[in-house]
């Protein structure tokens, strides 16, 4: 259920039975020369659309956090990088707001690699508060399954580019776009290292992306995300049901 278009009367009504909120987390950054700058927002949006059709009656779909943290891509034009400190505090406070509203199950649906470490901090702080938090980064959590469809995934790589093309073929192109391996270990950091890590701002075989692969990836990934959300609800019921959120007025 979409929060942005919901009135307060309806919101109060659904809060009586729903305690799960999904917050999409994105990034605005360079995605090679070929993929939309908003890729990390657009893909989670599409997941939300598809999840809404399947299990949308059981949760609130919150507005997205569009800007995130990207140390690696910060030397590239098109990247709007928020510091780890500001970003993690901001996301935590948004989620704390939902917790206070009674949403004790919080799903962070993340579209961007640079956010992951910060979202771990957010999840731990929310868990300490009393929340139950599920953090999903589709490109990491389901990487092995993704490779069965897009064998050379990466940042704006075969998987991401395909997922963007499947939303709208005008959002990306593959012509003349090559295959970039990450040339140095990611664990090694130095100033402006992203320029070495991501030649031309991407990794993986973007040239092999297609609308058809994107469609297959959406089917696969939406199912996997749905299964993980069902797992959250299953664990909730094993743990004895709803946690006690610090509710504001009902």
- Residues of the shown chain interacting with Zn ion in the complex, contacts defined by CB under 5 A: 39-40
Residue nearest to Zn ion (CB): 40
C-beta of 38 vs 245, nearer to Zn ion:
38
CA distance 211 to 163: 7
**Minimum CB separation from Zn ion for residue 95, in Å?**
22
Question: By C-beta, is 40 or 158 nearer to Zn ion?
Answer: 40
CA Rg value for the chain: 18
CA distance 106 to 108: 6
Residue whose CB is less far from Zn ion, 40 or 81: 40
Neighbour-count burial for 10-23, b at 16+ CB within 10 Å, e otherwise: eeeeebeebbbbbb
Strands (DSSP E) contained in the chain are: 20-25, 60-61, 105-110, 132-137, 179-180, 204-205
Which is nearer to Zn ion, 40 or 64 (by Cβ)? 40
**Which residue is associated with the tokens 């979409």?**
2
* b (16+ CB within 10 A) / e for 129-151: bebbbbbbbbbebbeeebeebbe
Closest approach, Cβ 98 to Zn ion, in A, equals 25
Minimum CB separation from Zn ion for residue 232, in Å?
Answer: 24
* Shortest reach from residue 43's CB to Zn ion, in Å: 7
Nearest distance, CB of residue 172 and Zn ion, angstroms: 11
Nearer to Zn ion, 40 or 46 (CB): 40
């Amino acid at each position: 259920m979409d929060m942005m278009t919901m009135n307060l009367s309806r919101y109060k009504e659904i809060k009586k039975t729903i305690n799960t909120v999904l917050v999409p987390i994105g990034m605005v950054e360079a995605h090679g020369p070929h993929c939309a700058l908003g890729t990390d927002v657009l893909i989670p949006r599409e997941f939300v659309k598809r999840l809404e059709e399947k299990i949308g009656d059981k949760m609130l779909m919150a507005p997205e956090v569009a800007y995130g943290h990207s140390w690696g891509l910060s030397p590239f034009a098109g990247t709007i990088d928020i510091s780890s400190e500001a970003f993690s505090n901001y996301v935590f406070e948004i989620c704390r707001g939902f917790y206070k509203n009674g949403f004790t199950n919080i799903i962070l649906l993340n579209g961007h690699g640079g956010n992951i470490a910060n979202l771990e901090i957010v999840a731990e702080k929310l868990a300490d508060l009393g929340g139950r938090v599920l953090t999903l980064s589709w490109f990491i959590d389901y990487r092995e399954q993704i490779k069965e469809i897009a064998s050379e995934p990466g940042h704006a790589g075969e998987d991401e580019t395909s997922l963007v093309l499947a939303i709208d073929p005008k959002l990306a192109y593959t012509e003349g776009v090559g295959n970039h391996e990450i040339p140095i270990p990611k664990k090694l950091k130095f100033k402006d290292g992203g320029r070495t890590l991501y030649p031309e701002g991407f990794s993986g075989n973007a040239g092999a992306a297609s609308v058809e692969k994107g469609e297959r990836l959406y089917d696969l990934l939406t199912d996997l995300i749905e299964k993980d959300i069902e797992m959250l609800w299953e664990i909730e019921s094993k743990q004895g049901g709803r946690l006690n959120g610090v509710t504001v007025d009902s």
